[in-house]
Structure 1
Amino acid sequence: MNPEPRYRSIAADLAEKIRTGHYAPGDALPAQRDLSHSYGVTLMTLRQALRHLSDEGLIVQQAGKGTYVSPPHLAYRLGSLRSLADDLREQGHEVRTTVLDRTLRRPPSAVAAQLGTPALRLERVREFAGRPAVHQVSWVRKPFGSRLRTVDFAAESLYAALADAGVSVARATETIRPDVLDETVAAHLRTPPGTPVFVSDRVTYSLDDTPVVTDRAVILGDMMEIRATRAATGLSLTWTGAL
């Protein structure tokens, strides 16, 4: 029986240290020369182990800066009619919300066509694992938006606030597409323009099928994975080609 290649045993040991918290998400690993010395192998063997960990998504190697443990990924569940923050908190993640804007104003024409004008504009940044990860702009139809102007959205979700205001939501339509950060959102997320992102556009409807909220969330691509549970009577997914 052939012995396991040395680089695989090193990769397994480092992976175990990452999973048990010896190296926490975002931590820098020791320098490659230090690691190769501690494991008693050449730099070439050590780099094979690091490539294996990188392929597994456990580490991120940054040229000229070093090797870091990958941050944990948020899971965006397509099948739930709840806020993004509520989804993440249910998964055990701590989410910090910063409210950037909450004003009653005239929305863009596409939003005004659905909600009328004026509407409540709610702009928020979601921070996860100590890093801004999601920029979100929501517009709320005026009769409901006017009731929400004093809500502490740093602590309460928009859907919960709507429920407290007596608004029952029935369904939502959502489109998710890949894009890159523009300069304005990049500044809010403290990430370079051009970074890959997911863009979610959602419209939420009340029981009488009136559009109540339009929402655009820009989500850093390296902080999110999208999950869906398929069932015969559950979530319906439609796949379309990119234009």
Structure 2
Amino acid sequence: MTDANGPAEAGTPDLGTAWRRIADELAGSIGKGEYAAGDILPAATALAERYGVHRHTVRQAFRHLAEQGLVTVSRGRGTQVSTRRVPYPLGRRVSMRANLGRIGMVGSSAVLSEAEVEGEPETCEDLGLEPGAALWRLEGLSLADGTPMGTGTHWLSVARFPDFDRAYRTAEGSMTAALKAFGITDYVRLSTRLTARLASEREAALLQIEPGAPVMVSVAIDALPDLTPIHLVSSVFAGERMEMVVEPFGEDVR
């Protein structure tokens, strides 16, 4: 008998069910605490030898566990038992580092790129600017306890925020700290639009997830307290690591 993974091994059950048996046994071990959060599971080759199956069968079991949120399959790190999803409140005020601090995690950022660009009409409209206005396009990576959680692309007016690229880098990718350099100590979230899709090759590499893994996409506009828009950010979050929590009464999250 054969399947998409290759010929079935003599004396083994149908490979169509073998991956499920492996997944169930690994899930049971995780549930009993034999593998703790953050532990790396044995490699596919080692498990394939243990169970007498092809390594692709084991990888199918890993994919199933990842879909259940039990593990994270990462490039260069192997298959890791998942920690709890990080809650990300969506209220009138949003700060990644503050949110993480409230649950005992350390938030940090890395600057990926900085450029001055001609703004696209839709982006300029969202920021209350004329089409083609000069914009800062800044890209950063957000981490929780050193694990990549999301990557974001920020747009701000060059005229309003001269040398913002320097402030952003000095602030080590913290938008809140960079805005404080321009005297803005308070800003509010005007809107957040959420969608979902599969990760691109580059996004997967940045977030240390598998290409094609599910990601959440957030497009948000921030404004001064008088509701003047100042900042647009498009973020891509690793779906298996984050959960969005909608604040129904607009509570401040700062």
Range class of TM-score, shorter chain: 0.5 to 0.7
Alignment of 1:59 with 2:76, yes or no, is no
For 1:145 and 1:105, how far apart are their aligned partners in 2?
A: 14
Consecutive unaligned residues in structure 2, runs of 5 or more: 1-26, 49-60
Larger relative contact order (CA 8 Å, sep ≥ 6): 2
CA distance in structure 2 between the aligned counterparts of 1:78 and 1:193, rounded to whole angstroms? 27
Paired residue total? 206
Question: Letter of the aligned partner of 2:125 in structure 1?
Answer: A
Aligned twin of 1:114: 126
Correspondence 1:138 to 2:134: no
Residue number in structure 1 paired with 2:19 = none
8 Å contact 1:96–1:154 — kept in the other structure? no
**1:26/1:72 Cα in 2 relative to 1: closer, same or farther (>3 Å)?**
farther
The equivalent position to 1:215 in structure 2, one of 230, 233, 241, is 233
Pick closer, same or farther for the CA change 1:80–1:26 going to 2, 3 Å.
farther
1:28 is aligned, of 34, 37, 41, to 41
Return the alpha-carbon distance in structure 1 between the equivalents of residues 112 and 80 of structure 2: 30
Structure 2 counterpart of 1:182: 200
* Distance of 2:172 and 2:92 partners within structure 1: 20
Amino acid in the other structure paired with 2:86? L
2:142 paired with 1:126: yes
Q: C-alpha displacement at 1:204, in angstroms?
A: 0.9
Aligned runs of 1:163-178 on 2, under 5 Å? 163-167=180-184, 168-178=186-196
* In structure 2, distance between residues paired with 1:128 and 1:224: 11
Separation of aligned partners in 2, 1:85 and 1:58 = 24
Deviation at 1:29, TM superposition (A): 6.4
TM-score, normalisation: structure 1: 0.66
TM-score (normalizing by structure 2): 0.64
User: Does 2:247 correspond to 1:199?
Assistant: no
Match of 1:5 in 2: none
8 Å Cα contact 2:138-2:165 kept in structure 1: no
User: Aligned with 1:101: secondary structure?
Assistant: strand
Aligned-residue sequence identity (percent) comes to 24
Match of 2:102 among 87, 90, 96: 90
For 2:88 and 2:30, locate their aligned partners in 1 and report how far apart those are by CA, in whole Å: 28
